[in-house]
Every structure is written in structure tokens, then in C-alpha cells.
Structure 1
Amino acid sequence: MDQWPTTEDIARAEDEIVLPELTEQTAYALGRRAVEAGLEQGLPIAVGVWRGERQLFHCALPGSTRDNNEWLRRKGRVVMRFERSSLYVARLCKDQGTSLAEKFALPSSRFAAAGGAVPLHVRGAGVVGWMGVSGLPQLEDHRFVMRILREHLDARR
């Protein structure tokens, strides 16, 4: 984990990603962009975009498994609980030598502090949802989602 970014670096990068809105169309555009990139690279991932408790987009690519869907949900619950990425919370727990279960009494059957789910900040509204990927090593999951979000915002400029 020493090669991972610090919590400060992770938070800074997350804070740079601010969407103007999170509509069904936005979720579809984000999800489609992730699916196209995943297919191009032959990645065995599941992709999800959520607004609050409502899933707006889901796609499981070839090679992904049922477990990837469950990992997505568990990582997403971490995002909605802490309003930070699941990687940030994983790094925070690692730095403090603890786990979600020990520090926050959160069951691992419902919460996963593992990279791959990123908060979706909307200008003027704060964190309203999350986007996640599962199927790669956790740091790669996180980087993939961050790249997709940056590409989406760059295309809008």
C-alpha cells in the first residue's frame, strides 16, 4: 500500500471532480463511457452509477462475476456513509492500523473499504451518489473510475 496515494492526494483528486448535475442521462453517459473503455481494453469489470439509493446504470462485462456486483454495492455504501471514495477509506483504515469493522462497527458483509467506488459531487448539492467499478485490483478500479469521470468532464468543456 506504500505506493498508493496518500489520503490527502486522494481527497484532492476527488474534490476536483464536480459534476453540474447527476441525471439519468449523465449516469448513462458515464456508464457508457466506462463500458466502452472496458470493452476496448478487455476488462472483466462490472460498472455501476447510483444517485442516493437508486441505481441509474449497471453493466457487467464479459469475465466479471456475480461477486463483482456485490463488491460494487459494498464499496458504494462506504462512499455514501463517508462521502469519500472507498479507496480513501481503505487508505485511512490502513494508515490507522484498523478496519471498518473495528473503527466504525460496520459489517464487512455490507461495507467494503476497497478501491473502486468514487463519490459523485454535484455543484451546489455535494455528494449525491457514486460511480464504481469492480473486477480489477482495487487501485486500478479506482484509477479507472477517476479517468472516466475526468474524461466526461473534459468532454463537456
Structure 2
Amino acid sequence: MSDDPALLEEIERQEAGLEFPSFGHDDARRLGELIAGLADARRLAVAVDVRRGEQQVFHAAFAGTTADNDSWIVRKNATVRRFEESSLAVRLRLGERGAERRGLDAAVYALAGGCVPVKVDGMLVGTASVSGLPDTEDHALVVEAMTAFLQRRA
């Protein structure tokens, strides 16, 4: 059960507003470039990953990151693919000991924010992820970029 129901409700509202009309390889690359551009402008030590289906279409790692950030991204992606909602929403919904109770292997799944689903017509078609900041900030950066991306397409 969420220890912050207001934050979970806000995340659910955000995700409902992040529906893509379509999501091809060019969209995935452009979204990745947008996230990376925000990170670069703010001098953030993050890794950025955008996937279409299972394929990694975009990846960037900024100074100050390590391969551990890439591992976090892989595990956050696994969480989103399994639950079809953001990794932060899953963390908040399941709580601190949620992974244990659900039998989730920590080597496969990460209960940490920063990976957001990309959906078209309600179907999961990809993910956008950031790793390197506190998990709520990772999540916020992805949501900010996705919102801007969708506004540009409108």
C-alpha cells in the first residue's frame, strides 16, 4: 500500500495524459534526444534510455554515471513491462517491502522511479528511462520530456 497516496494519484494522472498517437523509431530517438538535451543543459549525471518494444533505440550516459546506472535502467524497464505502469507508481503501490511480498527478484526488477511507459491506444509500446538522480527526480525528468514531446506533436 502506498505511503504517499497523493503522489500516487498525481503519477496516475500524469500517465493518463501521456498517451502517444503513435511511436516509431524516429519518435523514440527524438524523445531520447529531448531527455538528453534537458539533462545536458542542467549538467545532470544521468543515463538516458528509450525503447520501442524490446529494442533500445536511444541511449546516452553523461559524465558521472557508471554501468550501475545502465543496470538500474534494465531493471526499471523490467518493472514497467511487468506492471505496465511507471516504476515509481509500482514502488509507491507496492511499498517498501513490496518486492519481497510479490516474489520479485531484485536482480531482475527495480522498485525505483525513473522508467515511464510509452503507450499508444492504451497498449505498452515502449519505455523512457533515466537513472542517476533520486528516483522521483528521474521520474520527473522523463515526464517533463514526454509532456514537451507530446505538446510539440499536437
For Structure 1 versus Structure 2, the TM-score category normalised by the shorter chain is over 0.9
Deviation at 1:74, TM superposition (A): 0.3
Q: Are 2:127 and 1:134 aligned?
A: no
SS at match of 1:129: strand
Deviation at 1:2, TM superposition (A): 6.0
In the alignment, which residue of structure 2 is the partner of 1:121?
119
CA distance in 1, matches of 2:102, 2:147: 31
Q: Are 2:79 and 1:74 aligned?
A: no
Deviation at 1:3, TM superposition (A): 6.6
Query: Unaligned stretches of 5+ in structure 1?
Result: none
Q: CA RMSD in A?
A: 1.7
CA distance in 2, matches of 1:104, 1:10: 22
Superposed CA deviations along residues 93-135 of structure 1, whole A, max 9, x for unmatched, are 22xx5321x232110011001000000011x351111100000
Deviation at 1:52, TM superposition (A): 2.1
Q: Which moved more, 1:80-89 or 1:15-24?
A: 15-24
Counterpart contact for 1:75–1:115, Cα < 8 Å:
yes
Moved over 4 A (4+): 1-5
Deviation at 1:5, TM superposition (A): 4.3
CA distance in 1, matches of 2:7, 2:144: 18
CA distance in 2, matches of 1:109, 1:88: 19
Please show how residues 36-55 of structure 1 align to structure 2 within 5 Å: 36-55=37-56
CA distance in 2, matches of 1:35, 1:89: 24
Counterpart contact for 1:4–1:139, Cα < 8 Å:
no
Superposed CA deviations along residues 68-90 of structure 1, whole A, max 9, x for unmatched, are 00000100100000000000010
In the alignment, which residue of structure 2 is the partner of 1:149?
146
Instruction: Give aligned-pair identity as a percent.
Output: 37
Question: Relative to 1, partners in 2 of residues 1:44 and 1:6: Cα closer, same or farther, differing over 3 Å?
Answer: same
SS at match of 1:119: strand
Report the TM-score, using the length of structure 2 for normalisation. Answer: 0.93
Query: Unaligned stretches of 5+ in structure 2?
Result: none
